[in-house]
Every structure is written in C-alpha cells, then in structure tokens.
C-alpha cells in the first residue's frame, strides 16, 4: 500500500518571513562587499583626485575623463582594499580594530574576495585604458600592484618604514588625475603629490599609536610598536613640517591667493595639533592620538577644497 505524503503549505506569514530573511541575507552580503572596498579610504582618495584634475585642467576637466577617473579611481581603490583584506585576513582576525571585517567575521569566503578584488582591478584599469591615456593607466595599475604586493605582502610585515614607503600609493591618485587630464605631470602636480605623501606619516602614526597593542599582537612592526615614543614624536614633527612646507612650495608653482591663505592657516592648525601631541607625550600627559588623526583629515580636506576653488577662480 502506497501512502501519499501530506503536502505542507506554508502560511502567508511564513512566506513573508522567509522573503524578509532572504532580503536580509542579500543585504548583509552587499554590505560585506562594500566594506571590503573600505569606502572611507576611497572617499579620501577622491578628495585629492578631483581638485588635482580641476587644477590640471584650469577649471572643470572634460566630463568624460572626469567621470572615468572618478569611477575608475573608486574601483581601483576598492580593488586594492579588497585584495588587502584578502592578504591580511590572517592578521585581521588578531586585531580588535579589524576583527569585524568581512573575512574575519566569515561573512564572505577568501576565494570570493580574491575574485572580487581582481575583477575590480581589471575593470578599473580597462576603463582608464579605454578613456584616458597610457600614463594614467600605468599609474593606476602600478598603484594597485604597489599597495597590495610591495606594501601589503612585503613591506608591511617586515619593516617599521612600511608607512613611509606605503605613502607612495596613497599619494598616487593626485598624479593619476593630473596625468589623465594632461598626459603628464607638472611640477605643481608633483608638489601636491608630496603634500599627500608626507601627510600620511603623522596621519597613520597617530592611528598606530592608538592601536599599538593591536599591531603588536598581530606581529606588525609599525613604528610605535618597535621604536620609542621619542622616535615616533620626532617623525610626527618632521613629517608634519614637511607636509606644510610642501603645501607652501606648491603655492608659487601656479596657485593663487585663496590657496595660499588656506595653506598658511591650515598649516598652522596642523602644526599646532602635531606639536601638541608631541609636547604632551613628552611630558607624560595623557593624550588622545585620534585627535591628530582626525585633525589631519580636516587639514587635507580643506587644503584640497582650496585647490579646487583656486582652479575655478
């Protein structure tokens, strides 16, 4: 005798809950992939790229080139960050600051992150190749390679000078945008590159001081982990001075009074915050290094807004 199994029919409420659960799962996956691109870093990169393009063009650049560099630059930054997450997945799970990232949290698989990062990299370079020029394309590909292979795989885990050498790819968007507009890079473009390059040391050293124990736990030889605070303070002071000096050196190379006044005022502000940290640390007074970290972002943002305004005036 064959007995038929009863057909189980889900109630409308159960179907609705299943649909909501599926939507939440998809939303969680999308959020995970977005987090892999580190949007806050991409945003900061674009803050320097757009004004540089405007200055190179003497106003608004060609809209097609402008859009391609924005999209291609965002994809390139996202690709580099995703591949960085893939490479650093072993140390990210050891650090409190990074253990909630998608890979340590097991929101996505390593293979999918690798494919995602490489796909973004190919698309970004292809866009630059199709719509800009050889120099901008080569710089874009080189920046991704440098960040993930030279910095993340090699320098980051081997030398306390990792932040210094890693600064090259962090400043690259300035000259990528410039090259996309003009086909080359002028002394003014290199001066702005120097500003962003030197700026990264006080910016990231402040972060490394805050998360010193995290880096030590993961075995990353960041400067505050393997050197004294006296040495860290000295480098913060020197590179802040070099940042402001580079910003002022850019002024006579083709910028006007709006930029000059802004560079002077924001330079004083940045120097004050850096030397405040140095002095208070030297005296044994408790400090919050994140104050300098956030001040550095404010400094760079205002300075490059002044670059954009100067390009339009």
In a domain, 156, yes or no: yes
What is the distance, to the nearest Å, from the Cα of residue 301 to the centroid of all Cα atoms in its chain?
13
What is the distance, to the nearest Å, from the Cα of residue 76 to the centroid of all Cα atoms in its chain?
11
> What pLDDT does residue 109 have?
92
| C-alpha span between 43 and 3 (Å, rounded) | 64
Q: In this predicted model, what pLDDT tens digit does every residue of 37-65 receive, in sequence order?
A: 888 877 777 889 999 999 999 999 999 99
Grouping H, G, I as helix, E, B as strand and the rest as coil, residue 255 is: coil
Last residue in a domain, options 138, 156, 184: 184
pTM for this model (two decimals): 0.88
Do 300 and 219 lie in one domain? The reply is: yes
Q: What distances in angstroms separate CA 222 from CA 104, 157, 164, 292, one per listed residue? A: 21, 9, 11, 17
Q: In this predicted model, what pLDDT tens digit does every residue of 77-135 receive, in sequence order?
A: 999 999 999 999 999 888 888 888 888 988 899 999 999 999 999 999 999 999 999 99
In a domain, 4, yes or no: no
Percent of the chain with pLDDT over 90: 73
Do 233 and 308 lie in one domain? The reply is: yes
Q: In this predicted model, what pLDDT tens digit does every residue of 1-36 receive, in sequence order?
A: 445 555 445 555 554 454 454 455 778 888 888 888
Domain interval for residue 132: 39-184
Q: Which of 78, 154, 164 is nearest to 121 (CA)?
A: 78
In a domain, 11, yes or no: no
> What pLDDT does residue 160 have?
92
> What pLDDT does residue 191 have?
97
């Amino acid at each position: 005798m064959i007995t038929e199994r009863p057909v189980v029919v889900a109630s409308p409420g159960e179907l609705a809950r299943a649909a909501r659960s599926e939507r939440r799962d998809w939303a969680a996956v999308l959020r995970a992939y977005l987090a892999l691109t580190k949007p806050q870093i991409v945003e900061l990169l674009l803050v320097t790229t757009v004004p540089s393009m405007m200055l190179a063009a003497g106003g608004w650049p060609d809209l097609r080139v402008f859009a391609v560099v924005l999209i291609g630059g965002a994809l390139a930054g996202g690709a580099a960050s995703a591949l960085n997450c893939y490479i650093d997945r072993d140390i990210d799970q050891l650090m409190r600051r990074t253990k909630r990232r998608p890979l340590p949290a097991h929101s996505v698989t390593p293979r999918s992150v690798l494919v995602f990062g490489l796909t973004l990299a190919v698309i970004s370079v292809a866009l630059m190749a199709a719509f800009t020029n050889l120099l901008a394309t080569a710089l874009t590909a080189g920046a991704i390679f440098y960040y993930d292979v030279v910095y993340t795989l090699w320098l980051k885990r081997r030398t306390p000078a990792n932040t210094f050498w890693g600064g090259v790819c962090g400043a690259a968007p300035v000259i990528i945008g410039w090259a996309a507009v003009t086909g080359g890079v002028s002394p003014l473009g290199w001066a702005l590159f120097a500003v962003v390059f030197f700026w990264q040391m006080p910016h990231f050293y402040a972060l490394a001081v805050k998360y010193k124990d995290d880096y030590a736990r993961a075995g990353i030889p960041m400067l505050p982990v393997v050197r004294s605070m006296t040495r860290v303070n000295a480098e913060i002071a020197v590179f802040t001075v070099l940042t402001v000096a580079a910003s002022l050196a850019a002024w006579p190379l083709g910028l006007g009074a709006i930029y000059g006044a802004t560079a002077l005022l924001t330079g004083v502000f940045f120097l004050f915050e850096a030397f405040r940290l140095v002095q208070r640390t030297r005296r044994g007074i408790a400090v919050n290094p994140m104050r300098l970290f956030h001040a550095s972002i404010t400094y760079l943002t205002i300075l490059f807004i002044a670059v954009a305004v100067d390009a339009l005036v």
